[in-house]
Structure 1
Amino acid sequence: MKPAPKLFSAVSAMALALTPAVSGGLVLNLLTAEAAHAAVANAISVRGNSRVASSTIADLIGFRAGKNYSAADIDDVVKQLFATGLFSDVNVSVSGSTLVVSVQESSVVNQVIFRGNRKLKDNRLRSVVRLQPRSAFDQSTLDADIQAIVESYSRIGRADVIVDASVVDLGEGRVNVVFDIQEGDRTKITQINFVGNNAFSDRRLQSVISTKKSNPLSWFTRTDIYDEQRLAADEEQLRRFYFNHGYADFRILSSGATVDPATGNIIVNIEVDEGERYTFGNVDIDSTVTGVDTEDLQRTVATRSGAVYSAEDVEDTLIEMSERLAANGFPFAEVTPVGNRNFETRTIDVSYVVDQGQRAFIERIEIVGNSRTRDYVIRREFDLAEGDAFNQILLRRAQKRLEALDFFERVDISTRRGSAPDRVIIVVNAVDKSTGEFGIGAGYTTGAENSGVSVEGNITERNFLGRGQTLRLAAGGGLDSRTYNMSFTEPYFLGYRLAATFSGFRRTRDYDEYDQATTGGSISFGLPITEELKADIGYLFQQDEYSDVDPTAPTSIQADEALGAWTKSAVTYGLTYNTIDNVQDPHEGLYFRVNQEIAGLGGDASHISTKFVGNYYRTLSEEADLVGSLKLGGGHIEGLGQSVRTYDHFRLGPKQIRGFAYNGIGPTEQGPAGVGEHLGGKTYLHASAEAQFPLPALPRDLGFKGAIFADAATLFGHDSTTALNTDMEWRASAGFGLIWQSPFAPLRFNYAIPLKKEDGDEEQRFNFSVSTAF
């Protein structure tokens, strides 16, 4: 057989040496020889089939009487029949004028049986295998199913699973497929090692990634399972973290896992090169597009000279600048950041270059991966639609919005070429996650009155029926009170980026001198002005009813509370600014809200109420993961042509100053034995300072953090002439807290000691709350 290549070479050389006339004759002879092998088939004969009808086979291959069947045609027939999966062997030939098709039918799967599986139930395994009852059996499919089962077990931490498959022949072309599974022990991640990190400790970097070491709660969280896709996502999280903290040269040199031969557990190793830390140098804009106003674009720049380099600030600038250009009539303009490193000064000069980009349009947006969230919920977060000018920067804004919804495990947006060179197809891969939350809070009040335990609970679904809507139900109470609340939020009311919230509530409380029941509802609309700034406006109606009023009650209660039904009809409006990086575990950012309520549009109440609150977070030490926060708040209510009734005055509690009970400070009424019921106040101010830090004695993966804090507040002023203690008197407290980022979500326990208080104040030193996801 070895001379064959030489023969082929000789023939090839000879063919090249032939004259055109001779070569043409050779080609003609070859074509004639091929034609001789073709035959006209006027009939078809099918042999070996028992379940599949001959007519069905003829239809499958598209048989037509009188057709010439060459060798290529016969080869196509064989491929078509094999592609159906109905046959394990196919032979096709032409005999005279008859096309002869001989087949051996594949066995049909009668049952798929799993044995030895406990951790993954039958339904779960059936969803990952391709062999199903009444499907055709195929050995290659069986091999693929074995691998699919192994991968499913690997994803739950059982990489040493053993899967054996057997085929039981039942006769008459039917078989049972049996998978025998030895699940083995769960493989855990016992170590996560970082190499090359100097700026940040292992504990700090472990808080950035989602892969965790095994701990007593890993049976629930399953974050100690090694997954290559998760590790790849963790690499990207590390890059973002370093790039946003000034390390523009950061690289991941290697990452992977090794198996401890003694235990079979996994050790994850990540080697990094941090590089130097940079600050921003000169920042300018260079435009080659005629008509672009660079001074106008300068207002969109979020990068400031002298600030620590942050890739996120550069990205935010690109997004804002691209939107401004599109709004000004330059939809195809592209903004490219050009950085120039100065290694001596450790600065990066950034120039935003504006060029005319390639004219490309969006052909369509494809959405995959979402099993629960509706497609339109994802589409509406895009400022782009089919037919619009393609803009890569605005795609990144859409991705940030989708990630901010917190509906998905991950969001990946990619592009591919469309039906023409100037058409682009956008592919969005969004994998759903649990969006239900359960919350519970409790406290214990000590003091002269109303002492005891109070409990609150709520259930929230943030992606109701996959429509992006929020439904919340809450209830709570103590010895003498009950509260019930329900709210529903549609984030895109009537198809616009306008959030509409409808709520209803009922509150009851038994006071010493009377009982009170409040029923009402509200509707509000929230409109985003920018990504950080939002405005809202709403309407509130409530009715208060009083019963069992003590005839000997103080005059203010007799005057304000014993009026039967009291109604309030009010308009509310406000502004909210929010740059917090992570709501569950904030490290950086500012939250500020101011709102007003004007009552008097009908009803009995007539007043104007103003409130504000601000939270500021900053990382004090990256190495120690020490986070500081400051909180300020205040409010004032003033009657419009009438006195403010007692119930509409402000009341403070642990949310404003820890260590004191709700309605435990402020003006009071004269009681039979001295200081009586707290009446609330017209003006309040409060401030808090806090530092949060990891607990050094516990592994970071357990999610525990400590906190020390100091609070101060004052509540003063009252429209009742008989109210006592109405002067501005400050209260202060200090204490410590324990924060647990549990598998269910953050839980917090506080213990606060009042440092400055007044007679009659009610203490609540212990307080805890938990918000949990299910």
Structure 2
Amino acid sequence: MKAGSRFLNAVSAIALSAGVVSSGAGMAVLASAAVAEAAVIQRIEVRGAQRVGVDAVRSNITIRPGQSFSNVDIDESVKRLYATGFFSDVRISVSGGTLVVNVSENQLVNQVVFNGNRKLKDDKLRGVVQTQPMGPYSESLISADIERIKEAYAGIGRSDVEVTTQVVPVAEGRVNLAFVINEGDRTKINKINFVGNNAYGDGRLSALIQTKRSNMLSFLTRKDVYNEDKLRADEEALRQFYYNHGYADFRVISSDVTLDETGNEYAITITVDEGERYKFGNIAVESTVEGIDGAELERLVETRAGNTYSARDVQKSMEAISQRVSAAGYPFARVVPRGDRNFENNTIGVTYLVDQGERAYVERIEIRGNTRTRDYVIRREFDISEGDAFNQETISRAKRRLEALGYFTSVNISTAPGSASDRVVVVVDVVDQPTGSFSIGAGYSVGGDGFVLEASVEEKNFLGRGQFIRVAVGGGLDDARTYNFSFTEPYFLGYRLAAGFDVFRSETSSNSDYNYEETGATLRVTAPITEELATTVRYTYKELKYTEDGAYGADDTPYTADDNVSAPYMDLIENSPWKQSIVGHSIVYNSLDDRMMAREGIYASFTHEYAGLGGDSEYYKAYAKFRYYHTLSDEFDLIGSLSASAGHVVSTGGDLNVFDQFQIGGKELRGFESSGIGPRLEGDALGGTTYFTASAEANFPLPLFPQDLNIRGTVFADAGTLYGNDVGNSAGVVGTDMSLRASVGAGILWLSPFGPLRFDYAVPVAKEDFDKVQNFRFSMANAF
């Protein structure tokens, strides 16, 4: 029936004492002047509801016998019935005291199947479509499902997918529905061009954005999938990069995307205007809040006159000032930076204004988009909760924390008006990402222990609870074995305390002369001091067992003095097993800008520990390490790093044991084996009481490879020493003096789809004759 004829029929029915409501194709037309004023019916009669049932129809009607109703109630009832999706037509009429509801039922879907899909499995597509088995067959719903399937394929780079349907009747009123999918070829990204960039090359800017050109590994990374939202995020990444490197006037003029339908390839052109580069001018803090002295807050400011302008430093300064003022009892105080731009000498002076902001409270924190991570995991990163004073710097700090977790591909925090003028709703939009990883590490020494391998599985957001779990297993050709299990709860008992434990076991041998087994566990608690500084307290208990290789064979023959085992290790064998009970404390400072590929920042740690609360070890040990990263050239993306480490151990009760002393080698000094340097007796590593190491390294994009592959070259130089011995009789021991070892080398660093993959080849240039060399090492991390 046409809509116009229905309207005429309805108009002609106005003169009748009974009203009729008819609807088709989603349109409801109301009639009856009597009904418009109000009416009362005594009963409801439902016609045509064979499969759905009369009760289901009545439950979706707002009209009840004995109660007055009007056109609004009839209209709402029609809408509700259509909204169920079970009906193709709904008509409501009034006959005397009876409300007559005539419905025409849609067919029911008996089964939904997918044909032709290989890249997206059935389970994935079932979660996309809304048409479900035993649900209504609706043309409009199916059309929307086709678009949803196309969007899902566009998300994996197949924008030219074709989707049709086939309907097969199987019984009266029931059909099977098949979505027939022609997946087509992957839509690739052939070119990403930058226009207007003079300070930084295309390669440097390409490294900043998530959208990548197609390459031979794109089927794993999916980074060559064009997505408009991802391109907007890339534009923001470019802005932040330029703003943090002095280009305060930077802007993205346009991002043009063209599709070559012949080759099914996108070409993306991003046009930018870099503007001039600025340095900081005069810096000051002014306060209008009584009791707050702006001059005293200046020491919290990270921006310094003469330094390159950085929006990040301005933000950190604002947060530091806001936190201090809030702690002083002014929760509503706000910090606003005022810029004074000097175009003649390209400087920007910044004055941080502290004033009493408007009183506003957090009405609620609304979290959206998290399909895996629990709400409370996100909520606990906020230093505010419902009812607290609203503070923008606190919100910015929470955003930075959420991004640092590594649980999300994007984090956006916005605000919306609350139920009153002084109420604010904080809206948190996140997108979950995979947080599991598989890693593998390996090494090989010529003439040494040969090939060794370790594999581990990590999950840093276990079950969406934010918990960290790691399981690792290692082994080598010499029957060495290692086993490790770690668990960390980042918010122990609801406090910002990362509590966890480690359980470990290792089985190794040394030149086939003796076997070594170590089994133990560690309990630890870490507390943050600042955003970049944390402290950890731990307790470790170990049991160490030394046996002569082959000494306890099938015939239980004991070892003899003729066996090729040095005296200290023979003592370890005779008195095995040994026990250690260790209490330790660490302080860690971490300001690295990126965990995978740091370009700026410092990582430093200091640890001291005491052994002697029971067990066979009695010592005090202290050791530290430091690493500094700095971009030597933004234009050429050249990154330099300097590192150093040191340690010393002293006995607190008699001689030290071999296992109490430090053992260093290939990890600290590339070109040497693990435990490859330091004091030795008859070829066995005894360790040392003191060590120092230093290293310098530079890494850079390899010119022969596209930068989208993230393959970088490295050159490095390592130096260090391990000396001193306090295990008793030193007769025959070599390497106790402070003899310097050094090595130089080169390597390849690949930020692969599986994680960082590194190959190093080092040659010792200063060593002792008894040192053990290992020229080649590699390590690898695989994310899934």
Map 1:751-770 to 2 at 5 A. 751-770=761-780
Per-residue deviation, residues 585-631 of structure 1 (Å, max 9, x unmatched): 11000111111111122222111111111010000010110000111
Partner of 1:338: 338
Aligned to 2:189: 189
Tell me, yes or no, if the aligned pair for 1:437 and 1:771 is still in contact at 8 Å: yes
**Map of 1:386 onto structure 2:** 386
Q: Deviations over 1:423-447 (max 9, x none)?
A: 2222222222221222222212235
Tell me the residue number matched to 2:452: 454
1:475 is displaced (CA, Å) by: 2.5
Q: Verify: 1:486 aligned to 2:485, yes or no.
A: yes
Change (3 A) 1:658 1:146: same
Matched, 1:738 2:748: yes
8 Å contact 1:362–1:386 — kept in the other structure? yes
| Partner Cα distance (1:33, 1:223) in 2 | 63
Partner of 1:586: 598
Alignment match, 2:269: 269
Letter in 1 for 2:83: A
Q: In structure 2, do the counterparts of structure 1 residues 628 and 768 end up closer, same or farther at CA, with 3 Å as the change threshold?
A: same
1:74: Cα distance to partner? 3.7
Amino acid at match of 2:191: Q
Whether 2:713 is the aligned partner of 1:715: answer no
User: Structure 1 residue 638: deviation in Å?
Assistant: 1.1
> What whole-Å deviation, never above 9, does each CA across 1:187-209 have from its counterpart, x for those lacking one?
10011011111111110011001
Q: Please name the residue that 1:649 is paired with.
A: 661
Hey, what's the Cα distance between the residues in 2 that align with 1:240 and 1:317?
17
What amino acid is aligned across from residue 469 of structure 1 in structure 2? Q
Alpha-carbon distance between aligned partners in 1 of 2:65 and 2:697, rounded to the nearest angstrom: 88
**Correspondence for 2:475:** 477
Correspondences of 1:114-125 after superposition (within 5 Å):
114-125=114-125
Quote the Cα distance in structure 1 between the aligned partners of 2:401 and 2:165. Answer: 46
Residues 621-632 of structure 1: pairs in structure 2 closer than 5 A: 621-632=633-644
CA contact (8 A) 1:446 1:762 kept: no
- Number of the residue aligned with 1:200: 200
> Which structure 1 segments of 5+ residues have no match?
1-31
Q: 1:509 to 1:124 in 2, by over 3 A?
A: closer
Secondary structure in structure 1 of the residue aligned to 2:530: coil
Query: How far apart are 1:463 and its partner, in Å?
Result: 1.6
Provide the TM-score with structure 1 as the length reference. 0.91
1:523-602 paired onto structure 2 within 5 Å: 523-548=523-548, 551-552=561-562, 553-559=565-571, 562-602=574-614
Aligned to 2:108: 108
**Equivalent in 682, 685, 707 of residue 700 of structure 1:** 707
Alpha carbons 2:63, 2:74 under 8 Å: kept: no
Aligned equivalents of 2:486 and 2:60: distance in 1? 58
| Aligned counterpart for 1:661 among listed residues 645, 657, 673 | 673
Distance 1:456 1:51, change over 3 A: closer
Tell me the CA shift for residue 543 of structure 1. 2.1
Secondary structure of 2:775's match?
Answer: strand
Partner of 1:499: 498
Displacement of 1:347 in angstroms is 0.8
Contact 1:39 1:97 in 2 (8 A): no
State the Cα distance separating 1:744 from its structure 2 match. Answer: 0.6
Shift of 1:357: 1.7
Measure, in 1, the Cα distance between the counterparts of 2:177 and 2:288. 67
Q: Quote how far apart the aligned CAs of 1:54 are.
A: 4.2
CA gap of 1:135–1:650, structure 2 versus 1, over 3 A, is same
Deviation at 1:371, TM superposition (A): 2.3
Aligned equivalents of 1:43 and 1:583: distance in 2? 71
What is the alpha-carbon root mean square deviation over aligned residues? 2.1
Measure how far apart 1:368 and its partner are: 2.4
Structure 2 vs 1, CA of residues 275 and 551 (structure 1 numbering), >3 Å: closer, same or farther?
A: same
Query: In the alignment, is the contact (CA less than 8 A) between 2:740 and 2:766 conserved in 1?
Result: yes
Q: Tell me what 1:682 maps to.
A: 689
In the alignment, which residue of structure 1 is the partner of 2:287?
Answer: 287
CA distance in 2, matches of 1:159, 1:35: 52
CA separation of 1:93 and 1:704: change in aligned 2, threshold 3 A: same
Distance in 1 of aligned mates of 2:36 and 2:617: 103
Q: Which amino acid aligns with 1:153?
A: Y
Q: Secondary structure at the match of 2:60?
A: helix
Q: What amino acid is aligned across from residue 717 of structure 2 in structure 1?
A: A
Q: Distance in 2 between matches of 1:66 and 1:481?
A: 85
Matched residue, 1:75: 75
| Partner amino acid, structure 2, of 1:496 | Y
TM-score, scaled relative to structure 2:
0.90
CA distance in 1, matches of 2:595, 2:49: 66
Deviations 1:469-499 (A, max 9, x none): 2122222233163322222212112221111
How do 1:510-525 and structure 2 match up within 5 A? 510-511=509-510, 513-525=513-525
Distance 1:647 1:171 in 2: 78
Could you tell me how far apart the structure 2 residues matched to 1:510 and 1:53 are? Answer: 77
Secondary structure class of the residue paired with 1:299: helix
1:21 aligned residue: none
Structure 2 stretches of 5 or more lacking a match? 1-31, 549-558
Aligned to 1:13: none
Instruction: Report the secondary structure of 1:366's partner residue.
Output: strand
Partner Cα separation in structure 2 for residue 70 and residue 650 of structure 1:
88
Cα drift, residue 96 of structure 1: 4.2
Structure 1 residues 517 and 325, CA, compared in 2 at 3 Å: closer, same or farther?
A: same
How has the CA–CA distance of structure 1 residues 73 and 309 changed in structure 2, closer, same or farther, with 3 Å as cutoff? same
What are the residue-to-residue correspondences of 1:410-489 with 2, within 5 Å? 410-447=410-447, 450-478=448-476, 479=478, 481-489=480-488
Range that drifts further, 102-111 or 694-703: 102-111
Q: Is the 8 A contact 1:514 1:550 kept in 2?
A: no
Residues 343-389 of structure 1: CA deviation (Å, up to 9, x unaligned): 11111111111122222211222222222222222111111111111
Cα distance in 1 for residues equivalent to 2:609 and 2:695: 25
Amino acid at match of 1:649: Q
Amino acid at match of 2:493: L
Q: After the TM superposition, which of the residue ranges 739-748 and 160-169 deviates more from structure 2? A: 160-169
- Native 8 Å contact 1:525 1:536 kept in 2: yes
Quote how far apart the aligned CAs of 1:301 are.
1.2
- CA deviations 1:9-53 (Å, max 9, x no partner) are xxxxxxxxxxxxxxxxxxxxxxx9878976554444444433344
Range with greater deviation from structure 2 (389-398 or 510-519): 510-519
Q: Which amino acid aligns with 2:766?
A: K
How many Å separate the matches in 1 of 2:498 and 2:149?
A: 44
CA deviations on 1:675-729 (whole Å, 9 max, x unpaired) are: x323221111111111100010111111210001111111111124222231111
Q: In 2, are the aligned partners of 1:480 and 1:511 still within 8 Å (CA)?
A: no
User: Secondary structure at 1:315's aligned position in 2?
Assistant: helix
Q: Cα distance 1:101–1:559, how it changes in 2: closer, same or farther (>3 A)? A: closer
1:27 is matched with: none
1: CA distance, partners of 2:352 / 2:454: 52
Q: What is the count of residue pairs matched by the alignment?
A: 736
Choose which of 625, 634, 638 in structure 2 pairs with 1:613. 625
Q: Distance in 1 between matches of 2:79 and 2:518?
A: 76
Cα 1:51–1:442 shift into 2, 3 Å: closer
Going from structure 1 to structure 2, the CA distance change for 1:503 and 1:696 (only over 3 Å counts) comes to same
Q: Do the aligned partners of 1:440 and 1:458 also contact (CA within 8 Å) in 2? A: yes
Are residues 34 and 529 of structure 1, via their aligned partners in 2, closer, same or farther at CA, if it must alter by over 3 Å? Answer: same
Contact 2:566 2:684 survives alignment (8 Å): no
Return closer, same or farther for 1:142/1:736 CA change in 2, 3 Å cut-off: same
Q: What is the CA deviation profile of residues 68-87 of structure 1, one whole-angstrom value per residue up to 9, with x for unaligned ones?
A: 55444443443333233332
1:462 Cα deviation from its structure 2 partner: 1.4
Given that residues 74 and 93 in structure 1 are in contact (C-alpha distance below 8 angstroms), is that contact kept between their aligned partners in structure 2? Answer: no
Distance 1:66 1:291 in 2: 70
Between the aligned partners of 1:385 and 1:758, the Cα distance in structure 2 is 62
Contact 2:62 2:76 in 1 (8 A): no
Contact 1:205 1:238 in 2 (8 A): yes
